[in-house]
Amino acid sequence: MTRRIGLTGGIASGKSQAAAVLAELGAVVIDADAIAHQVTDPGGAVQAEVAAAFPTAVQEDGSLDRRELARIVFSDAQARARLNAIVHPAVRACMAALAAQAEEEGARAVVMEIPLLVENHLEGGMDEVWLIEASPATQIRRLMARSELSEAQARARLGAQLSNAEKRRVAHVVIENEGSLQELAQAVRRAWQERGLSVS
């Protein structure tokens, strides 16, 4: 029987790196962020609706200026809620279809990588929740380095999500990611084995 795992964690906590390790271990990984990009790309299911709601974030070729869109929604909670109301239903529908397909094909585990899993109360649809956790200071440092954000911008993005403590309340597995990628990979592999997901 397929195990459905919700993989979550704050921004710049290391979810994608953990997901890559889980894929190596045999899990089918479904990435909410990647699907969100697909549905908002030109020709995507909700691109026109997003463009109409945020016209200042539309480039000359009709594609979205994602940096500008992020600036808008991370500085305005109402704008963020409006964007989420457009994008999230399309993402969920796509993820549900992909998960059902993987389960029909007999996948040992389907990992749903969802940054806002707890914020959007999606844990009930999972067999278990894995939380990748880093300290706020580490998240801010990583976010500034990878996205060329100011500290204020990084803090605003972090502030748009629930705290680690709030996410821990629903987590079955908590993996701290303060060290190297190798240490994270080892922790993920250990959790995989401890949860009985290794092939016997």
> Higher model confidence: residue 159 or residue 82?
82
Query: Residue 63 maps to which CATH number?
Result: 3.40.50.300
Q: What residues pair up with 175 in beta bridges, in sequence order?
A: 132
Q: Is 80 helix (H, G, I), strand (E, B) or coil?
A: helix
- Do residues 111 and 197 share a domain? yes
Give me the number of domains the chain comprises: 2
Dihedral-angle region of residue 106 (phi above 0 means left; psi in -120 to 50 means alpha; beta otherwise):
left
Angle between helices 32-40 and 77-104 (to 10 degrees): 110
Confidence of residue 199 (pLDDT cuts 50, 70, 90): low
**Is 79's pLDDT higher than 90?**
yes
d(CA 6, CA 30): 10
- Do residues 198 and 160 share a domain? yes
- The pLDDT of residue 62 is 87
Distance of CA 58 to the CA centre of its chain: 24
**Is 1's pLDDT higher than 90?**
no
Among 89, 106, 123, give the residue marking a domain's end.
Answer: 106
pTM (whole model) above 0.85: yes
Confidence of residue 177 (pLDDT cuts 50, 70, 90): very high
Mean pLDDT of 87-108: 96
Domain that residue 180 falls in = 1-27+107-200
